[in-house]
Amino acid sequence: MQTQINKVELRNLEFDDYKQLKNSMVESYPEMANSYWEADEIEKLLSIFPEGQLVILVDGKVVGSALSLILNEKLVDKKHNYKQIIGDYSFSTHNPNGEILYGIDVFIHPNYRGLRLGRRLYDARKELCEQLNLKAIVFAGRIPNYAQHSKKMTPKNYIDKVKHKELHDPVLSFQLSNDFHVLRIIKNYLEGDEESKEFAVLLEWNNVYYDESPKLINLEKSVIRLGLVQWQMRQLNNLEEFFEQSEFFIDVVSGYGSDFALFPELFIAPLMADYNHLSEANAIRELARYSDPIRKRFQEFAISYNINIITGSMPYLDNGNLYNVGFLCKRDGTSEMYTKIHITPNEVVHWGMKGGSQFKTFDTDCGKIGILICYDVEFPELPRLLADEGMNILFVPFLTDTQNGYTRVKHCSQARAIENECYVAIAGCVGNLPKVNNMDIQYAQAAVFTPSDFAFPSNGIKAEATPNTEMTLIVDVDLNLLKELHEHGSVHTLKDRRTDLYEIKKIDS
């Protein structure tokens, strides 16, 4: 390595670079005779895929390169060797409409190794893969140290030992450290590669931003705006007053461009004041009569204000059984119901409520979401199953009377965000309701919680409302940060689960 370097440059390969490219390649592969690209081959590569050919220059000298083709995924999946994958050096396999960026060569001049220049080439390849909306980067990596161990172990044993840091391979160790994972072993891949005994390891890096069917309109958004309503319990004379107050908040959060409006659990409780002369169980059953009209009106609000509304929750009668349910009213006019699964002792004793038996993720124009009502978030199995279905945002409408109850909801929600690598948004009711039995006091603080990694707040709290004050909380969350976290986070809580030892599964009802 030179004692002093003045400038390092990464750019696309140009044909005028050929002489320096050839010299660096010869120095890089001294063990393989005539292992350099011919001038006409480089000219052909540049004619069919110029953006896929990269070089690193140090003080104006080409010291490394990464060459690529775009291939059809089916071709990559087939058994192949090096000559086949590059069309016997004709590059006839290149398909501009393919899904895979296939690396056909990468090297760094030995005098310039140790400067992490290879990492720059790989980072540029990843960026190109994302820009071209390709599914993955794939290539067959040599294992040049394998010849030293081939008499006492199979290629599979060798790869396992390299993966577990028991052995070092200058190529494979580097690839694994750059987030590539092993797909399979290929025999007789590169003729004349005695160091690898002609074995190669097919490796892959997945593009987390790949869009299988890109659209010009109705694109799925990456930055989602959440509008959380911290609802003040107040006396309401009739259902129209309730709708008027609800529409006010929907108008507010919609005016700020929110994609979702989240209302709290049982925020329709003030309407129960007319039935306070009845037993608590009978009063809440009377309240259930409003559930269907509320769903219909909120569907209209969702359309007219162009916002997805999560209606908190309300009592719901079905075949004589009382449930705690809510509705996801989408801005396309459709709606879906969700049900509280775990019922608190208070709900059972005072109201005779029953828990639901079905839960799932919901598809929206902002990706997959989950909705769990209050107590449900204190059971980690439910959010984990929703995360396995692809949930990015978990919404938790809640109702807690004391700070103790709120603390349970808050800290469990924070834990769910971390362990499931998702956002969790919570919203509750505040204030007092003196003329409604079993609903007299409320404590709440709306919030949005995040995973805890470098791209997120260090305390895992994106935003919080003022406690016990009626207000809205408008928060942006970035789904791309979750994609990065899943693949490249400091820890991988979803991927690192020991499913060989334990599992959580949904029981079909």
| Nearest-angstrom CA–CA distance, 187 and 79 | 9
Interior angle at CA 195, CA 192 and CA 199, nearest 5: 75
| Nearest-angstrom CA–CA distance, 446 and 433 | 19
Beta bridge partners of 309: 261, 329
| Nearest-angstrom CA–CA distance, 338 and 268 | 17
Give the DSSP H or E segment for 426. strand 423-427
How is residue 141 written in tokens?
Answer: 């990596």
Residue positions annotated with a catalytic role:
265, 340, 374
Interior angle at CA 162, CA 200 and CA 499, nearest 5: 100
* Per-state percent for the chain, helix, strand, coil, to nearest 5: 35, 25, 40
SS3 state of residue 269: helix
Q: Are strands 423-427 and 441-442 parallel, antiparallel or unpaired?
A: unpaired
What contacts 24+ positions apart, CB below 8 Å, involve 452-461?
452/418, 453/485, 453/489, 453/490, 453/491, 454/490, 455/481, 455/484, 455/485, 456/481, 456/485, 460/414, 460/417, 460/418, 461/414
For every residue of 350-385, DSSP letters joined together read: HH-----S----EEEBTEEEEE--GGGGGSTHHHHH
Neighbours of 157 (CB within 10 A): 12
| Nearest-angstrom CA–CA distance, 287 and 380 | 31
CA quadruple 234, 240, 245, 249: dihedral positive or negative? positive
SS3 state of residue 72: coil
